[in-house]
Amino acid sequence: MARLSDIIEDFIKTLLKESEGELELQRNDLASYFDCAPSQINYVLATRFTLNHGYYIESRRGGGGYIRIVRLDTDKDDYLFYLLKEGIGKELSEQEAVQHLQRMVEQNFISKRDAYIIKSAISDKAIAIPSTLKDGIRASIFKSILAALLSLDEKK
């Protein structure tokens, strides 16, 4: 018997296909649809819809709350997608980050202005914590920015 988590994963991916890569759902609805604990939805999201997998999750609690799942656009830019999935590991130095940004500008994926803003966000000065932690934070911030850039939603 296929694991429920896999079934839920497939279900969400089907929904995403039908809705062109962007989807808002109610955790409790989905849980009761599959007759499982609500927290299992979180488990599925945490293990199969991470940034590294190419998905971006947003959510809100309270009345009218939701979970929003965005499939990042693979076609948009292979290099960025590669960076997000494999090119950036657990840590990223300032120097490496700047090199990535340079290349992104050269490839015309972001403007010089974008690069300048992003650089300011991930600079050593901005990340004012003990240096042992810096590269880890920088990696996660950089990935988060890549996800935003790859996000389908052009309006934003």
Partner DNA sequence: TTTATTGACTTTCTTTGACCTTAATTATAT
Partner DNA sequence: ATATAATTAAGGTCAAAGAAAGTCAATAAA
Q: Which residues bind DNA (CB under 7 A)?
A: 1, 3-6, 25-29, 36-43, 47, 59-67, 95
**x/- track of binding to a copy of itself for residues 63-92 (CB under 8 A):** xx----------------------------
Q: Does 156 bind a copy of itself (CB under 8 A)?
A: yes
Q: Identify what 108 binds: a copy of itself, DNA, none; CB under 5 to 8 Å per kind.
A: none
Q: Does 114 bind a copy of itself (CB under 8 A)?
A: yes
Considering Cα of 125, then 130, then 131, then 137, what sign does the dihedral take?
A: negative
- Are 97 and 137 in contact, with CB atoms under 8 Å apart? no
Which residue carries 């996660």 as its tokens?
140
Integer Cα distance of 69 and 48 in angstroms = 12
Tell the smallest beta-carbon distance from residue 91 to DNA (Å): 14
Q: Does 61 bind a copy of itself (CB under 8 A)?
A: no
Q: What are the structure tokens assigned to 53, written together?
A: 């997998």
How many residues belong to the site for a copy of itself (CB under 8 A)? 40
Tell the smallest beta-carbon distance from residue 17 to DNA (Å): 21
Q: Which residues in this chain contact a copy of itself in the complex, by CB under 8 A?
A: 1-3, 6, 63-64, 112-123, 125-129, 133, 136-137, 140-141, 143-145, 147-149, 151-156
